[in-house]
C-alpha cells in the first residue's frame, strides 16, 4: 500500500487557496480513479482506491498545514507504511504556475507542512510532488499570497494542470516519477 498525502488547510473558506493545491490534486486523483468516499480518520480525511496495480491510501490532514505531521504519522503507524512508500503533494513557490517537479527527500524549504511531517516521522526520505503556484516576488508577501484564493484567470492553467496530474498518476504509482513528471509537463505544453 502507498500513502499519498495532499497538503492544505481544512476550513471551507480556504478550499480555493493556493496553499490547498495539494488537497485539490488528491481530490481530482480520487475522482478520476474511482476511489471510495472520503472518511474521517487519522485527524484527516482518507479515501482508498487503486491506481494501476497499486493500492493507494489518500490522506488530507485536517490539522491545518503546520500540524500535518500528526495526521501523517498516525496513518503511517496504523498501516505500517514506510516513509519511502509515501508521496506528499504540496504547493511550491519556487516553480512557476503549472510546473511540476518530483523528488525524494530533501529539506522543507520553508514549507511548514513538510517541516511538520519531517518532525513527526523523523526522516525526510519520502516522495514529494511539488506543484508550482509561483512566487509573489518578495518574501514579505508570501504569507498573504499562499493564503489567497487562486484568481479566476488561473483556471486556464489550474484545471488542466490538476487533470494532467490525475491522468498521469499511474506512472507515479508504478514507481516511475520521471515518466510522471515528463507526461504532466507534456500535457501542460499542449495547453499553453
Q: Rounded to whole angstroms, how far apart are CA atoms 54 and 40?
A: 22
Write down the catalytic residue from 19, 33, 90, 111.
19
CB 9 within 8 A of CB 65: yes
CB-based burial label for 103 (10 Å; 0-12, 13-18, 19+): exposed
Please say if 111 is a catalytic residue: no
Q: How far apart are CA 144 and CA 159, in angstroms?
A: 22
Q: What is the largest distance, in Å, between two alpha-carbon atoms of the chain?
A: 45
Q: Is 35 helix (H, G, I), strand (E, B) or coil?
A: coil
Grid cell digits, residue 105: 527527500
* Residue 48 and residue 36 in contact, taking contact as beta carbons nearer than 8 Å: yes
Q: Which residues are catalytic?
A: 19
Amino acid at each position: 500500500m502507498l500513502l499519498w498525502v495532499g497538503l492544505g488547510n481544512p476550513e471551507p473558506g480556504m478550499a480555493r487557496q493556493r496553499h490547498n493545491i495539494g488537497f485539490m490534486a488528491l481530490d481530482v486523483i480520487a475522482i478520476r480513479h474511482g476511489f471510495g468516499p472520503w472518511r474521517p480518520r487519522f485527524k484527516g480525511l482518507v479515501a482508498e482506491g487503486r491506481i494501476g496495480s497499486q493500492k493507494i491510501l489518500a490522506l488530507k490532514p485536517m490539522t491545518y498545514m503546520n500540524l500535518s505531521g500528526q495526521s501523517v504519522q498516525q496513518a503511517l503507524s496504523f498501516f505500517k507504511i514506510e516513509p519511502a512508500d509515501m508521496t506528499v503533494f504540496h504547493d511550491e513557490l519556487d516553480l512557476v504556475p503549472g510546473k511540476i517537479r518530483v523528488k525524494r527527500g530533501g529539506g522543507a524549504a520553508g514549507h511548514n507542512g513538510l517541516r511538520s511531517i519531517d518532525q513527526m516521522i523523523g526522516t525526510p526520505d519520502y516522495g514529494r510532488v511539488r506543484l508550482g503556484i509561483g512566487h509573489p516576488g518578495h518574501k514579505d508577501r508570501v504569507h498573504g499570497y499562499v493564503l489567497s484564493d487562486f484568481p479566476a484567470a488561473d483556471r486556464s492553467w489550474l484545471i488542466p494542470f490538476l487533470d494532467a496530474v490525475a491522468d498521469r498518476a499511474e506512472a507515479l504509482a508504478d514507481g516511475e516519477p520521471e515518466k510522471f513528471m515528463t507526461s504532466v509537463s507534456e500535457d501542460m505544453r499542449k495547453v499553453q
